[in-house]
Structure formats: structure tokens, C-alpha cells
């Protein structure tokens, strides 16, 4: 069922309100902020992946001409508080504090050990070279399976494995072991006529936002701390900084600038507390901007993994059992998205017998962080490749298999309530009906080129979260809409559209602004695909509340019962009196009154977003190069408020998924040094690497939202790696179970297959 209501604003494609600033270079991002007397901070980072810090001598740096402050972990208080940080879930701020400035031990190459503020970035970098750190190197642990071994060197002597509430006897690099079970998988595998079990390895991958992290901090003499930063969540930054620095939250104000991409990686703080400390010591505002090498080495990439998936199906093609073993590299501190990996791995399917084991494992790599549907891409890569093999063995069409076994409302899922209204099967059916699927693919394309087609499904949860917004009715009937959700992808527009729809006015008469933590109520982060849903929900609630307030004020002016005032579009009427919004605004201000309204909402969003993708690839068997010929992304979007931005989210997620599938990986040497900490050797797709991406928007109304909105931003990154692996199998008969599928790896597999045949 698709949404049938006709909307005035929703579903149209207006220009975003911040657009002119962004195409003219006027928009202000973190690194563009300049304050009087501002100085510049830089961070000294560990060359070792694992070492004890025996001592840090900063005296020469402190004396270096042009240096105004130097800080180390000694300048940070001890903290021990657990906070929910965005989609990362609970994070102990002690770990967050040690992550941004190492204390006692360095746990990954690039781990911050000291910071300097000086009159210019060049001087700051020179001063860093004058800091002497005495390290005692320790053996690093760089592979998730090795880290899980009983004799592995430990990152934390005081970390024990939590297995569903039970603590292990001995310390370990395994922070937690999650288990989800339903039915009896042994019985289920016995009932199966085909069983497939495969192992998978994926490498660490970075969100790859083009804008490096940037922050400016000003610590004033009266203790007021203001931070300007590129962040996905100003309120989260405020809370993290207040906790890490043990500074009252009432004295911390965070001003979110425009943000050049986040994808989950700009929720945890890295620079902000350090800049604040430097500012306090120097008595000047401090700007800190990361360079690309720091971004890659020392922020929060998504985990590399080792996974095993086993699935059984009967001769009719029903899944009878499924088992997933997922081990995720959390990096230097606990908190990989293993929970989400477990929740999503088999999400597109209705399962009777299933067991999922998930492991959060520490290794000497940067602490992992959220990356667009965190954990799902890895887990569903493994599951969707195995499903493809099941279909092959059954001789069953892969889309038909997904339709037959597709999850429906009421089906079980791990770690959460059953599904509500979802569009898994609708997506599969739309894929089956697509022009792409119906267009036959010619396999042979020259002597050395083979073409193939693959499909994969994906799922990501939606999150409601808390959003606040404030509306102010201007005398001319326009509305200033203050919200706190940083606009990464056009959400000012989609929020304003929902407000305009609910309030009965034109989109152009809404002036949305993203404001700081002093100016609007609490907002959860821009992430988790929640803003169009959650902040839109708040905007809808705000519109309704403002209508009620206008009605009440008019009732007082007209001396009628408030219940008798009706609202139709932008018209307010009672009896024979009727005014439009502009007239109402004037009447109210003539009384010396204003309509300024704030709401905070925390709606339930029990829904999720499903996607099914189809890809055609061409493999050059002599070079291992894979070309994407055609890509179609089908996704259940609930209701597309602004279809262009929904399409944009889908296309962007697909592009990242293609990079993940074919090119992107962190390459660590045996010492734990990241060898490819540059965009030269960390290879992200260019305009020549990706074709046009077709999008098919399926709209299955989400009952938790007045306009049926589902979060759309994350799920599109999930299917591409599996779809591409499946397409490569269709083309050349080799199943790629390691990501990325680089030319070298694919070439080696093709050659191995050919010599096995020979």
C-alpha cells in the first residue's frame, strides 16, 4: 500500500533554504570560523600502535617562540560516567577522555598524546616536534581473531567479557558477547535440503567525509565556554565536553556550523575538549582543524570483521535455519556496532530457527565509530552472499527467494520487539517489476570481459529520538523556525516542508534556521536516519501547537469560546469572523502580544527501512577490474517529503557501498602503522568510477509519523557490497567473501579457479 493522500507541499522539490550560501561559498563550516585574537592548535600523535607512556617532556615546546599553551592528559580530570552518544550507544566518558588524549598507554598509531596552541598552524606543528615522549612499545594486536585468542596481548588489563550480563573470569580483549536465539537451529539445519556455510573478512573502512574535523573553542575568563564545530549533534558535544572536562553544562554553549559530511563519524568529540583546554590555558580562542592523515588514522572508522554465516533451506526454498557468528573490531575501546550487526544480519527474512553470536573485540586500531547503518553493511554482506549461494543451489530466482521468505509485520527480530508495518516484500516486488530486472543481460562482452547481475537486500532501524523546535510568527505571516538538527543533507528543507504542510502556509514563507544549544531545546544528533522523521515530527507538533495558540489568542480578541475557532489551511474562523494568517498576526501584535511557541517531542519509531538493490557488473578477467554498468536501488521510504533529497541519500549511500565493495580498506603493517593514511591510497570512488544510479522509491506509510515518514539515509549503503559480490559470481563464477574486492584479490581468485579447473 502506498500513501495515497494528496499533499500541497510534501512530495514537491523546492530549493533548499541554505542552498544559495552553499553554491556561492558563503556557508560557514567549522574551519571557516574566525574570532579576534584566535590562535591555532595541533595535536602530537603516537607513532606506536601499542605502548606505555613513561613520560612526556613538554618544556621545550612550551618555550618555543609563538607557543601559548601545551596540554596533555594531565590537564584532564578523571571521569567515570556513562553517556548515550548518538547511535554508538552507551560510552564511558573515561574511554572518550582517554581516546582524545592518551593516559598511561597509547592504544593505536595516531592516538593523541599532547597538544599545542600557537600563533599559526605552522608554528604549532614545529612546536610539536619539540615535545619528547618516552614510549615503551608493546606488542600490538591487529587482527580480530588473534585478539580473541586466550594468549593475546591485552589492551586493557581491567576489561572483562560481558556475555549477556555474565562477566568472564579473566580479562580479555573481547568486551562483550551478544547472543540472540529463537527456535532450534540444529533441528532447522536437519530439516534443510541445502546448507551453505561461508567465512567472511572485511577490512576497516572510513566514512570519508570530505571535510576534516574542525572546532573553535573560546574559554572566557568568567568560565563561559563556547565551541563552534562541525558536528552532527551540538547537544551531544555539549554533554560530552561538559563530562570530559567536568565543567557545568550550563556554562557550555555549542554552536553547530555547517558540516561537510558526517555519516556517523562526527558525533563523538575529538578536538573540542582539547581546544577548550588550550583556550583556557592560553586565554585566547583556539581553532583546531585535522589534516586528512589525522582524520584517517585517529577518528572513528567502522570495524573490520571476521564473520561466519550458515543458512539452511528446504527444497521449496523456505529458510529453515540461520546462524551468524560476527566478530567486530571495536578498536582501542569497547563499543563497536556489534549489537546493530546482530539486529540487522538476517533482518529481511522471516526466521523460525536462528542464532546470532556477536563479539565486540578490542584491537590496536582507532576506536571505531558509527558509519551509516553501522554494522549492517558488514553483517548483511555476509548474509546476503550466503543467501545468493542458497538460491544458486536451489535453482531459485534470488528475488523470488526474498519475496517468499520476506519479513512481515509481526515477525520476530533479535534484541527488539517484532516488526511493525514494514516494506520488505514491497521492495522486492518493486525490484522484480523494475525495468532493470526485466532487461536481460548479455553475459559475454569480448574475449576477456564477462557480465553478471546480482541482488541483495538490506535493512536499517529507524530511531525517533528527541527533537525540539521553536516557531515565531512574524508580523507578515512568515514563520521563523528554529531547530537544532544540523543540516547534512537538506533537512532544513524537509523540516520546513513538513511545517508548512501542517501549518497551512507556503514553503517559502518558512524560514528555518539551525541554532545553538542556548537557543533551542534539546535535540538528539543528526544521525540514525532520524531527522526527517523526528525533527519533522516536532515541526508538525509545533505547527499544530501554534495553530492552537493563534486560535486561543483570536478567541480572546473576538471574545468567543476558543473551541469555536476553526483552522482551514491558513484561515482562522469563528462564526462570521474569518482572518488569514497575516491578518491574524497583525491582530495579535496590535494587542502587544506575540506567538512564540516551543515543543519537544520524542516519538516512538518502531519502524525500519528495507532496501533491495540490483547491480550489473562487467569483470575484466585479465585485470580483475570491475565496472559497474547499471545500478538500481529500491527502497521503502515511507513518504518522500522532498523526493530529490531522498534520491540523493540513496545514491550517496550506494556510492559509498560501491567504494566499500571495490576499493576502500585500511592497510596496517605488522607494527600497526596505517600505511595508507591519505586519499591517494585510501581510495574513494570518483565520477569516473560510478554510473548514474537509478532509484525506485516505494512508499509504505509508517504509522508512527503523521506523514508516514521513514528514515531513509542509512540503509542504501547496506546492499551494495553483497549485490556486487553476487553479480561478480554471476559473471565469472567466483564468490568473493573478502572486502574490498580489489583487482588483485579478484585476479587471484579467478586464476585459482582456472587452475583448479585445468
Stretch in the footprint of another protein (CB under 8 A) among 94-102, 458-466, 610-618, 661-669: 661-669
Cell of 171: 580479562
In 3D, which of 559, 589, 586, 590 has the Cα closest to residue 575?
Answer: 559
Extract the runs of DSSP E, i.e. beta strands, from 539-591. Answer: 566-568, 571-574, 577-580
Extract the runs of DSSP E, i.e. beta strands, from 516-659. Answer: 566-568, 571-574, 577-580, 596-601, 608-620, 626-636
**Rounded to an integer, what distance in angstroms lies between the CA atom of residue 83 and that of residue 93?**
7
Question: In terms of CB distance, is 208 or 304 closer to another protein?
Answer: 208
Question: In terms of CB distance, is 119 or 582 closer to another protein?
Answer: 119
**Rounded to an integer, what distance in angstroms lies between the CA atom of residue 80 and that of residue 97?**
10
Question: In terms of CB distance, is 401 or 682 closer to another protein?
Answer: 682
Binder among 2, 5, 34, 283 for another protein (CB under 8 A): 34
Binder among 686, 756, 757, 758 for another protein (CB under 8 A): 686
Please state the closest distance from residue 288 (CB atom) to another protein, in A. 13
The answer to whether residue 289 forms part of the interface with another protein (CB under 8 A) is yes
In 3D, which of 262, 265, 361 has the Cα closest to residue 305?
Answer: 361
The answer to whether residue 35 forms part of the interface with another protein (CB under 8 A) is no
The answer to whether residue 652 forms part of the interface with another protein (CB under 8 A) is yes
**Rounded to an integer, what distance in angstroms lies between the CA atom of residue 262 and that of residue 80?**
27
Cell of 546: 501554534
The answer to whether residue 82 forms part of the interface with another protein (CB under 8 A) is no
Binder among 210, 442, 756, 758 for another protein (CB under 8 A): 210
Question: In terms of CB distance, is 95 or 618 closer to another protein?
Answer: 618
* Dihedral sign from CA coordinates of 424, 429, 430, 434: positive
Question: In terms of CB distance, is 443 or 683 closer to another protein?
Answer: 683
Residue recorded with cell 501549518: 503
Please state the closest distance from residue 678 (CB atom) to another protein, in A. 6
Question: In terms of CB distance, is 262 or 317 closer to another protein?
Answer: 262
**Adjacent-strand bridge partners of 453:** 616
The answer to whether residue 258 forms part of the interface with another protein (CB under 8 A) is yes
Q: Report whether 724 contacts 660 (CB < 8 A).
A: no
The answer to whether residue 623 forms part of the interface with another protein (CB under 8 A) is yes
Please state the closest distance from residue 277 (CB atom) to another protein, in A. 23
Q: How big is the site for another protein, counted in residues (CB under 8 A)?
A: 81
Question: In terms of CB distance, is 570 or 620 closer to another protein?
Answer: 620
Stretch in the footprint of another protein (CB under 8 A) among 133-141, 168-176, 560-568, 676-684: 676-684
Residue recorded with cell 525506485: 696
Distant-in-sequence, close-in-space partners of 756: CB < 8 Å, separation ≥ 6: none
Binder among 549, 583, 690, 733 for another protein (CB under 8 A): 690
Question: In terms of CB distance, is 130 or 413 closer to another protein?
Answer: 130
Please state the closest distance from residue 720 (CB atom) to another protein, in A. 11
Question: In terms of CB distance, is 123 or 237 closer to another protein?
Answer: 123
Binder among 82, 84, 179, 751 for another protein (CB under 8 A): 751
Question: In terms of CB distance, is 429 or 665 closer to another protein?
Answer: 665
**Rounded to an integer, what distance in angstroms lies between the CA atom of residue 685 and that of residue 683?**
7
Binding to another protein (CB under 8 A): which residues in 423-462?
Answer: 447-448
Stretch in the footprint of another protein (CB under 8 A) among 2-10, 516-524, 586-594, 620-628: 620-628
Answer whether the bond into residue 642 is a cis peptide, omega within 30°.
no
Element (H or E) spanning 472, and its range? strand 467-473
The answer to whether residue 648 forms part of the interface with another protein (CB under 8 A) is yes
Q: How many other CB atoms sit within 10 Å of the CB of residue 252?
A: 25
Map residue 198 onto helix, strand or coil: strand
Please state the closest distance from residue 628 (CB atom) to another protein, in A. 11
The answer to whether residue 153 forms part of the interface with another protein (CB under 8 A) is no
Stretch in the footprint of another protein (CB under 8 A) among 405-413, 529-537, 599-607, 680-688: 680-688
Binder among 19, 171, 562, 733 for another protein (CB under 8 A): 19
Binder among 301, 339, 375, 489 for another protein (CB under 8 A): 489
Taking CA atoms, 435 is separated from 404, 423, 484, 722, in Å, by 21, 20, 41, 21
- 297-332 burial string, b = 16+ CB within 10 Å, else e? bbbbbbbbbbbbbbbbbeeebebbbbbbbbbbbbbb
The answer to whether residue 699 forms part of the interface with another protein (CB under 8 A) is no
Question: In terms of CB distance, is 33 or 383 closer to another protein?
Answer: 33
The alpha carbons of the chain give a radius of gyration, in whole angstroms, of 27
Binding to another protein (CB under 8 A): which residues in 104-133?
Answer: 122
Residue recorded with cell 553483497: 722
Q: What is the 8-class DSSP label of residue 395?
A: T
Question: In terms of CB distance, is 135 or 701 closer to another protein?
Answer: 135
**Rounded to an integer, what distance in angstroms lies between the CA atom of residue 618 and that of residue 450?**
6
Binding to another protein (CB under 8 A): which residues in 724-743?
Answer: 742-743
Please state the closest distance from residue 292 (CB atom) to another protein, in A. 4
Cell of 568: 482551514
Q: In what order do the strands lie in the sheet with 626-636?
A: 449-461, 608-620, 626-636, 693-698
Please state the closest distance from residue 110 (CB atom) to another protein, in A. 11
Count CA atoms within 13 Å of residue 229 on its CB side: 37
Binder among 263, 346, 419, 463 for another protein (CB under 8 A): 263
Binder among 512, 685, 711, 721 for another protein (CB under 8 A): 685
Stretch in the footprint of another protein (CB under 8 A) among 98-106, 258-266, 329-337, 409-417: 258-266
Question: In terms of CB distance, is 688 or 756 closer to another protein?
Answer: 688
For 645-664, what is the HEC assignment? HHHHHHHHHHHHHHHHHHCC
The answer to whether residue 26 forms part of the interface with another protein (CB under 8 A) is yes
The answer to whether residue 758 forms part of the interface with another protein (CB under 8 A) is no
The answer to whether residue 137 forms part of the interface with another protein (CB under 8 A) is no
Taking CA atoms, 497 is separated from 7, 543, 551, 717, in Å, by 11, 11, 22, 26
Backbone angles phi, psi at 281, to 5 degrees: -70, -40
Binding to another protein (CB under 8 A): which residues in 532-561?
Answer: none
The answer to whether residue 651 forms part of the interface with another protein (CB under 8 A) is yes
Amino acid at each position: 500500500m502506498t500513501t495515497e493522500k494528496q499533499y500541497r507541499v510534501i512530495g514537491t522539490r523546492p530549493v533548499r533554504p541554505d542552498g544559495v550560501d552553499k553554491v556561492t561559498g558563503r556557508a560557514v563550516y567549522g574551519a571557516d570560523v574566525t574570532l579576534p585574537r584566535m590562535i591555532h592548535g595541533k595535536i602530537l600523535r603516537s607513532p606506536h600502535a601499542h605502548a606505555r607512556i613513561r613520560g612526556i617532556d613538554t618544556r621545550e615546546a612550551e618555550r618555543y617562540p609563538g607557543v601559548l599553551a601545551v596540554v596533555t592528559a594531565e590537564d584532564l580530570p578523571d571521569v567515570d560516567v556513562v553517556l548515550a552518544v548518538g547511535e554508538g550507544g552507551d560510552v564511558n566518558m573515561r574511554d572518550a577522555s582517554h581516546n582524545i588524549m592518551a593516559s598511561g598507554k597509547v592504544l593505536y598509531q595516531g592516538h593523541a598524546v599532547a597538544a599545542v596552541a600557537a600563533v599559526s598552524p605552522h608554528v604549532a606543528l614545529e612546536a610539536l616536534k619539540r615535545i619528547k615522549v618516552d614510549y615503551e612499545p608493546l606488542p600490538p594486536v591487529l587482527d580480530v581473531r588473534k585478539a580473541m585468542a586466550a594468549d593475546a596481548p591485552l589492551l586493557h588489563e581491567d576489561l572483562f567479557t560481558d556475555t549477556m550480563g555474565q562477566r568472564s573470569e579473566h580479562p580479555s580483549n573481547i568486551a562483550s558477547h551478544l547472543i540472540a536465539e529463537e527456535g532450534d537451529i540444529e533441528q532447522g539445519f536437519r530439516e534443510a535440503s541445502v546448507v551453505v556455510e561461508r567465512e567472511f573478512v572485511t577490512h576497516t573502512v572510513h566514512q570519508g567525509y570530505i571535510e576534516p574535523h574542525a572546532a573553535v573553542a573560546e574559554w572566557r575568563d568568567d568560565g563561559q565556554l563556547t565551541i563552534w564545530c562541525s558536528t552532527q549533534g551540538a547537544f551531544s558535544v555539549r554533554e560530552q565536553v561538559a563530562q570530559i572536562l567536568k565543567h557545568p553544562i550550563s556554562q557550555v554553549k555549542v554552536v553547530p556550523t555547517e558540516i561537510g559530511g558526517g555519516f556517523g563519524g562526527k558525533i563523538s568529540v575529538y578536538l573540542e575538549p582539547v581546544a577548550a583546554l588550550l583556550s583556557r590555558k592560553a586565554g585566547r580562542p583556539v581553532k583546531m582543524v585535522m589534516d586528512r592523515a589525522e582524520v584517517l588514522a585517529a577518528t572513528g572508522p567502522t570495524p573490520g570483521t571476521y564473520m561466519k554465516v550458515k543458512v539452511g533451506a528446504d527444497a521449496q526454498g523456505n529458510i529453515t535455519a540461520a546462524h551468524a557468528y560476527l566478530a567486530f573490531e571495536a578498536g582501542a575501546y569497547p563499543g563497536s556496532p556489534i549489537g546493530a550487526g546482530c539486529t540487522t544480519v538476517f533482518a529481511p527474512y522471516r526466521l523460525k530457527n536462528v542464532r546470532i553470536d556477536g563479539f565486540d573485540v578490542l584491537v590496536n586500531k582507532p576506536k571505531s565509530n558509527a558509519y551509516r547503518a553501522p554494522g549492517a553493511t558488514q553483517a548483511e554482506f555476509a548474509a546476503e552472499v550466503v543467501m545468493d549461494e542458497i538460491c544458486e543451489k536451489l535453482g531459485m530466482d534470488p528475488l523470488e527467494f526474498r519475496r517468499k521468505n520476506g519479513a512481515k509485520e509481526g515477525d520476530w527480530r533479535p534484541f527488539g520487539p517484532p516488526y511493525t508495518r514494514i516494506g520488505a516484500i514491497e521492495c522486492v516486488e518493486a525490484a522484480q517489476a523494475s525495468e532493470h530486472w526485466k532487461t536481460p543481460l548479455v553475459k559475454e562482452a569480448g574475449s576477456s570481459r564477462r557480465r553478471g547481475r546480482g541482488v541483495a537486500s538490506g535493512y536499517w532501524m529507524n530511531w525517533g529520538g528527541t527533537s525540539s523546535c521553536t516557531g515565531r510568527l512574524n508580523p507578515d505571516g512568515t514563520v521563523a523556525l528554529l531547530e537544532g538538527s544540523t543540516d547534512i543533507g537538506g533537512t532544513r528543507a524537509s523540516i520546513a516542508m513538513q511545517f508548512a504542510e501542517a501549518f497551512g502556509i507556503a514553503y517559502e514563507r518558512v524560514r528555518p534556521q539551525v541554532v545553538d544549544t542556548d537557543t533551542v531545546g534539546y535535540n538528539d544528533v543528526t544521525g540514525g536516519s532520524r531527522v526527517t522523521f523526528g525533527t519533522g515530527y516536532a515541526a508538525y507538533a509545533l505547527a499544530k501547537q501554534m495553530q492552537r495558540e493563534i486560535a486561543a489568542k483570536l478567541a480572546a480578541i473576538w471574545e468567543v469560546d476558543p473551541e469555536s475557532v476553526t483552522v482551514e489551511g491558513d484561515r482562522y474562523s469563528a462564526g462570521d469572523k474569518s482572518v488569514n494568517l497575516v491578518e491574524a498576526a497583525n491582530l495579535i501584535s496590535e494587542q502587544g502580544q506575540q506567538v512564540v511557541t516551543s515543543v519537544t517531542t520524542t516519538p516512538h519509531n518502531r519502524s525500519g527501512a528495507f532496501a533491495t538493490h540490483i547491480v550489473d557488473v562487467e569483470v575484466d578477467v585479465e585485470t580483475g577490474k570491475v565496472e559497474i554498468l547499471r545500478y538500481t536501488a529500491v527502497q521503502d521510504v515511507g513518504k518522500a517529503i522532498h523526493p530529490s533529497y531522498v534520491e540523493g541519500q540513496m545514491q550517496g549511500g550506494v556510492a559509498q557501498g560501491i567504494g566499500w565493495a571495490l576499493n576502500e580498506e585500511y592497510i596496517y603493517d605488522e607494527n600497526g602503522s596505517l600505511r595508507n593514511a591519505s586519499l591517494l591510497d585510501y581510495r574513494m570512488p570518483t565520477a569516473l568510477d560510478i554510473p548514474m544510479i537509478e532509484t525506485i522509491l516505494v512508499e509504505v506509510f509508517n504509522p508512527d509519523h503523521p506523514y508516514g515518514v521513514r528514515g531513509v539515509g542509512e540503509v542504501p549503503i547496506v546492499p551494495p557490497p553483497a549485490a556486487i559480490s553476487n553479480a561478480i559470481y554471476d559473471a565469472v563464477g567466483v564468490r568473493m567473501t573478502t572486502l574490498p574486492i580489489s583487482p588483485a584479490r579478484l585476479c587471484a581468485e579467478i586464476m585459482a579457479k582456472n587452475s583448479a579447473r585445468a
